[in-house]
Chain A
């Protein structure tokens, strides 16, 4: 029996096939899905902010792109994955609100996406596919068995990347 494991905001979970990982309502946040296909172990991190270095409070590592990527590598290795065979797919990073005066914080989605891509590259995790940007929310389901990432939206279709 496969189960579907929920991942909340600023959270990270590891699972094995045939289980699936889901995170609901990604807005400016990013869902980082990383898997070792051969060993059938994967994880999903739901990050909120680009960098733990500027933050006054960085206790929760899954909250930031940089510390979450480090954490997920450690956790996946502990679960038997090989760091050199990790591949990633990401989704989210939208801009949810339209203000008349654009402030920096509202571009957080774009900054998150950029930071995640940089952190993955820095840690030599190949990014296979991404579905980021836009102005709409996403609910994503990551199938560890197949590596498929199902992206569902309201009014902007459904796709598998």
Chain B
């Protein structure tokens, strides 16, 4: 289903609902991990041309930390967790039990990077776990890859994989916020071309209008 315009309201709602539940589980897991309250935004669903996707991440040349997991199984997809660079440093402080402001984002240690990757693992596993319960589809996340650079640059490599068959991409975005401290990061699910039909079918709303 590369013709995203044909998605019905019912189908978009169904996708929002799984994003909501997936991100809800991920938020709970993150809250336990850092022992703080995590709120989440209402999920957003966007159908964008490649050129527009970086805007969803705050702009193509914004410095970010990106955690990327390739999801294989019944409905392959990409997962991306994007954190503004100073937010990533703040998250590392929490994970490593340091005082806020200790970690310098220019000097993440190997342990810091490893801690961030673990966050990617936990968020993805919980998000996908919820999706599996809902759809009865199998999802297998890869080991996370980490990149620290311009948002657009990190996106290039991910979108290139979809570019062979698609000109547009469907993005499910949920913002995770720490109680009173602003945004922690944005969680993105990008189904591969063809996966959307499988997910919608499993949700019982596979028929196109």
Q: Which A residues are closer than 8 A to B by beta carbons?
A: 8-11, 24-29, 48-49, 54-57, 59-60, 63, 94-101, 105-106, 108-109, 136-139, 154-155
* Contact between B160 and A28, CB atoms less than 8 A apart: yes
Top 8 A-B residue pairs of the complex, sorted by shortest distance between their CB atoms: A25-B152, A137-B153, A8-B51, A27-B153, A27-B156, A25-B60, A24-B60, A97-B145
Q: Which of B52, B59, B159 has the most CB of A within 10 A?
A: B159
B150 close to A (CB within 8 Å):
yes
Q: What is the chain B residue whose CB lies nearest that of A105?
A: B161
B50 touches A97 (CB 8 A): no
By a CB distance below 8 angstroms, the chain A residues around B154 are 25, 27, 96-97, 137
User: Do the beta carbons of B157 and A109 come within 8 Å of each other?
Assistant: yes
Q: Which of A26, A100, A138 contacts B143 (CB 8 A)?
A: A100
B61 interface hit (Cβ, 8 Å): yes
Q: Does B110 reach chain A (CB closer than 8 Å)?
A: no
CA distance A105 to B145 in the complex (A): 13
Contacts known (A28-B160, A56-B165, A105-B161); A8 close to B155, Cβ less than 8 A = no
From A9, A56, A98, contact of B54 by CB (8 A): A9
Determine the chain B residues whose CB is within 8 A of the CB of A49 once the complex forms. Answer: 160, 163-164
Q: How far is the CA of A28 from the CA of B161 in the complex (A)?
A: 11
B178 to A: closest C-beta gap in Å: 25
Contact of A48 among B60, B142, B147, B159 (CB under 8 A): B159
A40 to B93, CA, bound (A): 52
B2 interface residue, CB < 8 Å from A? yes
Given the contacts A8-B50, A25-B151, A99-B145, A106 and B157 also touching, CB distance less than 8 Å:
yes
Q: Tell whether, in the assembled complex, residue B153 and residue A99 are in contact, meaning their CB atoms are under 8 Å apart.
A: no
Tell me if B127 is interfacial: C-beta within 8 Å of chain A: no
Task: Known A25-B54, A48-B50, A99-B142; judge A60-B167 contact (CB<8 A).
Answer: yes
> Is there an interface contact between B160 and A29, defined as CB atoms closer than 8 Å?
yes
- Asked if B164 and A24 make an inter-chain contact with CB atoms under 8 angstroms apart, the answer reads no
Q: Smallest Cβ distance from B16 to chain A, in angstroms?
A: 26
Q: Flag B44-76 by CB within 8 Å of A: 1 or 0 each.
A: 000001111110000111010010100000000
Chain B residues lying within 8 Å of A154, measured Cβ to Cβ, are 63, 149-150
What 14 new A-B contacts, CB under 8 Å, besides A25-B151, A57-B164, A105-B160? A9-B156, A24-B59, A24-B61, A26-B156, A29-B156, A48-B50, A57-B166, A59-B167, A63-B167, A96-B153, A97-B157, A106-B145, A138-B153, A154-B149
- List the A side residues contacting B163 at CB < 8 Å: 10, 48-49, 55, 63
B52, B63, B142, B156: the one contacting A96 at CB < 8 Å is B156
CB distance from A43 to the nearest CB of B (A): 16
- Cα of A96 to Cα of B157 in the assembled complex, Å: 7
Given that A24-B152, A109-B157 are contacting pairs, would A97 and B61 also be in contact in the complex, using a CB cutoff of 8 Å?
no
Residues in A whose Cβ lies below 8 Å from that of B160: 28-29, 48-49, 105, 108
